C-alpha cells in the first residue's frame, strides 16, 4: 500500500476530527437562543437593549434640547421599550418560533456531523487493508462530505439570518404603525422611549403610557389571532 496515500488519508481523518469538534461547538452560533437569552448572538439573541434600539430610534442631544424648550406647547409621552419587548405577545411568538427553528437547524447539523464522524472512524479502521485506489477514493469521498457539512452549516446560518431579518421588519412595522395611529388619536407630538443606557434619565409617571401600549398591542394581536 502507498504510504503517502495512507498518510494523506490519516491527515484528512485528523482534520475531520477537528472539523467535527468545531461543528459541535460553533453550530451554537446559528442557534440564536441556545442555553439562555443572555448568550444569544443575533438581534433576537443580542439582548433586550439591542431590540429596544432597533424598534425605538434614539433621539440626538440637539433634538432632545429642542423638545425640552418647546415642551410647554407639545404633548409628549414616553414608553419603557424593555417592558414592551418582554411583554408584547407578538414578539414572544416570533422569539419562540426563531428559537424552535434554530434548534431544528442545530439538530440537523449535528446529525450530519455525527454521520461524517462515523464514516471517518470506519475509514480509519479499514485504511490499513485498502489499496491505493481505495484510499484515494475514500479520501476524496470523505473530503467531499466534509465540504457538504460545512456548506450545510453556512446554508442554515444564512437561512436563519434571512428569517430573522424578515421577522424583525414585521415587528418594527407593526409597532411603528401602532404608534402612528395612537399619536394621531391622542394628539401626541412625541412618543419617546427609554431603556437601560438611553438618554432619557427621568420622566414623570403621568407621562408614562407603557402599560396602555402593551395592553393595546396585545389586544390587537389577540384580535388578529381570532381571525385566523
pLDDT digits (tens, 9 = 90+) for 6-35: 444 444 444 444 444 444 444 444 444 444
Q: What are phi and psi of 58, to 5 degrees?
A: -75, 140
Report the first-to-last Cα separation within the chain, whole angstroms.
67
Closest CA to 179 of 220, 124, 224: 220
Q: What is the mean pLDDT of residues 88-107?
A: 92
What CA–CA distance (Å, rounded) separates 160 from 97? 11
What CA–CA distance (Å, rounded) separates 91 from 168? 9
| Model pLDDT, residue 107 | 93
| Residue percentage of the chain with pLDDT more than 90 | 32
| Model pLDDT, residue 88 | 93
* Highest mean pLDDT of the ranges 3-17, 28-42, 111-125, 210-224: 210-224
| Model pLDDT, residue 66 | 54
| Model pLDDT, residue 42 | 36
pTM: 0.63
| Model pLDDT, residue 23 | 44
| Model pLDDT, residue 60 | 53
| Model pLDDT, residue 48 | 39
| Model pLDDT, residue 217 | 94
Closest CA to 79 of 209, 170, 187, 180: 209
| Model pLDDT, residue 72 | 56
Query: What SS3 class is residue 87?
Result: helix
Mean pLDDT, all residues of the chain: 75
pLDDT score of 46 more than 50: no
| Model pLDDT, residue 57 | 53
| DSSP bridge pairs for 193 | 79
Amino acid at each position: 500500500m502507498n504510504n503517502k496515500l495512507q498518510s494523506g488519508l490519516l491527515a484528512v481523518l485528523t482534520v475531520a476530527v477537528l472539523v467535527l469538534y468545531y461543528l459541535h461547538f460553533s453550530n451554537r452560533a446559528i442557534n440564536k437562543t441556545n442555553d439562555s437569552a443572555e448568550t444569544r448572538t443575533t438581534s433576537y439573541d443580542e439582548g433586550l437593549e439591542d431590540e429596544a434600539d432597533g424598534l425605538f430610534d434614539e433621539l440626538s442631544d440637539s433634538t432632545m434640547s429642542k423638545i425640552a424648550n418647546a415642551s410647554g406647547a407639545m404633548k409628549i409621552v414616553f414608553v419603557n421599550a424593555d417592558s414592551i419587548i418582554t411583554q408584547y405577545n407578538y414578539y414572544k411568538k416570533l422569539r419562540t418560533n426563531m428559537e424552535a427553528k434554530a434548534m431544528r437547524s442545530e439538530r440537523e447539523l449535528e446529525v450530519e456531523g455525527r454521520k461524517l464522524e462515523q464514516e471517518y472512524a470506519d475509514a480509519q479502521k479499514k485504511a490499513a487493508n485498502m489499496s491505493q485506489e481505495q484510499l484515494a477514493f475514500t479520501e476524496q469521498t470523505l473530503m467531499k462530505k466534509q465540504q457538504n457539512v460545512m456548506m450545510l452549516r453556512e446554508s442554515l446560518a444564512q437561512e436563519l439570518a434571512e428569517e430573522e431579518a424578515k421577522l424583525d421588519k414585521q415587528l418594527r412595522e407593526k409597532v411603528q404603525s401602532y404608534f402612528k395611529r395612537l399619536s394621531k388619536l391622542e394628539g401626541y407630538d412625541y412618543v419617546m422611549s427609554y431603556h437601560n443606557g438611553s438618554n432619557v434619565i427621568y420622566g414623570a409617571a403621568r407621562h408614562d403610557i407603557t402599560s396602555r401600549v402593551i395592553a393595546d398591542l396585545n389586544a390587537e394581536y389577540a384580535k388578529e389571532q381570532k381571525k385566523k
